[in-house]
Amino acid sequence: MKRFFFWLGRVIRGGCINYFEVWRRNERVLYFPVILFLFCFVHWVFWIFLVFLFVGLLCGCKYKFSGPHLGRDSVNDAMGKMSDMAEEIKNGENENESV
């Protein structure tokens, strides 16, 4: 049991020192600990949270992780590709409307 609680403490600590950030127009709009992000993602708030993430992408928001464990380029490059794909979809819809 002692090892389990030690592991659980490390996971919770890691979730509190790493952050999920929302950026728009090169300005950080919102950020909160990853543990809150995971809590929302796992519980019933999942669908509402997913809709907000998608709408944010269509409104030009970009998402990043920061902190000692998740602030790596590989993680944020994947998030950047997702944002770029949303921009392409949005621009593609705008081009079809003007034709």
Name the residue ranges covered by the structural domains of the chain: 37-99
* Measured CA distances, 28 to 17, 32, 62 (Å): 17, 11, 9
**Each residue's pLDDT tens digit, 70-94:** 766 766 777 777 777 877 777 776 5
**Each residue's pLDDT tens digit, 15-72:** 888 888 888 888 999 888 988 877 877 776 778 878 888 888 888 888 888 888 776 6
Quote the CA–CA distance of 88 and 36 in Å, as a whole number: 30
